[in-house]
Amino acid sequence: MTGTSPRGGLTAFFAGRVGRRVSTACAALGAFAVMSSGLAPSAAAADVQSKQWYLNAMHAEDMWKISTGKGVKVAVLDTGVNPDTSSLKGQVLGDEAPEAVSHNATEDYKGHGTSMAELIAGTGAGGGMQGLAPGAKIVPYRVLSKGVSSTDKKKTPSVGDAIKAAADSDARIINMSFGSDIIDPDVEKVIKYAHSKGKLMFAATGNDAGSKNFIGYPAAYPYVVGVAAADDKGKVGDFSEFGNYVDLGAPGLNVPYWCDATFRSYCDDGDGTSMATAIASASAALIWSAHPDWTANQVLRTMIDTAGRTWAKGERSNYLGYGAVRPRKVLENSDINPGSAATDPLSFENGTGVTGVTASPSAPASTSSQAPKGPSGGQTSAAGSTSESSDNTTMWVALGAAGAALVIGGGVFAVIRSRRKA
């Protein structure tokens, strides 16, 4: 997970790259990569919470008066989850998964999976990282990846097997902070199975916007919510991959994480769509806990409807999808309409038909002259795409009485997801 990357987007919201780049090898799926990159060791456990800027930006304390995520289980498919960190004690249900798919799930060989779990459901005890949904519980699944010992490799489940097991569990949310360039029909099949079981799935879109910018899988599969990373100003990180499969944005810059599997210290300035994915999953947990009778479709629809954006409802951006997650806007509205329990809010992208979504908006609601233009007039980079002087709508929340708004950058382009087929 070594490497450097310029910071971009969402600095007051989230700015910086999280974690070192980790490669994961999955039996039939080729190389899976954990979506975190760029390390700057420094944050001691004692002050790691002061680095979690997005908790204040999202008004976490106010949200916790309404919901903490209690009663919601989140399946974390990753490098394993260490249940013994001060922040995760009592939060990890390591014995919930069948033995065949839980082999060493509570042993994290990289620190990445534990970081994601803490971002979701950490209690903050002992000065550890504070999760956005501290009342939620984590069900860990360790999947095949680089770094697994040869002995464990034979017993470690494939991504497909882990998804299938999570689908059959009572976890409502499946967090997948990784990606691959290779389509696996078996994985796509179990993704659809998980959807049929009512699971809400989130996956990282990737950290290679500066090079190949290919949003891989599982983010590009039907029924998976692809998550982009933004900073505290609502600006997309210049590493965050953009295009047809971005559905939502979440804080993913300057987010702390465990430096490595020794769990001795946290690192600063973590940037990555991995972290953004975990925070999106935690946001869903908060909403589902407050509305336990809702379906995955309704939870996701309210996340989309209340997302922070500078463009019209129903239109999407190549950089932040339908906007930046703002669970507070759902929790504070007791009369919010979640819509149909059975209708997929991403039906257009998933190839099953348009349901209240504008397929081809005629023009973006707001664009910035700072972003370079491509041959077709579309912005080719998220970096520098936010104008701080613009009248952009609030991203997550308006901070303080003066309403210092966090804004969203990136032009609005509704692109049909030609590769995503149901």
Report the candidate in 261, 253, 266, 264 with the shortest Cα–Cα distance to residue 113. Answer: 261
Letter for the amino acid at 397? V
Active site includes 42?
no
Three-state SS sequence of the chain: CCCCCCCCCCCCCCCCECCCCEEEEECCCEEEEECCECCEECCCHHHHHHHCHHHHHCCHHHHHCCCCCCCCEEEEEECCCCCCCCCCCCCECCCCCCHHHCCCCCCCCCCHHHHHHHHHHCECHHHCCECCCCCCEEEEEECCCCCCCHHHHCCCCCHHHHHHHHHHCCCCEEEECEEECCCCHHHHHHHHHHHHCCCEEEEECCCCCCCCCCCCECCCCCCEEEEEEECCCCCECCCCCCCCCCCEEEECCCEEEECCCCCCCEEEEEECHHHHHHHHHHHHHHHHHHCCCCCHHHHHHHHHHCCECCCCCCCCECCCECCECCHHHHHCCCCCCCCCCCCCCCCCCCCCCCCCCCCCCCCCCCCCCCCCECCCCCECCCCCCCCCCCCCCEEEEEECCCCEEEECCCCCCCCCCCCCCC
Q: Which two tokens stand for residue 168?
A: 């059959």
Q: Is 281 left (phi over 0), alpha (psi -120 to 50) or beta?
A: alpha
Cβ atoms within 10 A of the Cβ of 117, count?
32
Is 38:20 a contact under the CB 8 Å cutoff?
yes
Active site includes 281?
no
Catalytic residue, chosen from 36, 78, 102, 317, is 78
Catalytic residue, chosen from 37, 115, 145, 274, is 274
Cβ atoms within 10 A of the Cβ of 335, count?
4
Residue 116, CA distances (Å) to 77, 196, 200, 228 in order:
10, 25, 17, 15
Active site includes 103?
no
Residues labelled as active-site residues: 78, 112, 274
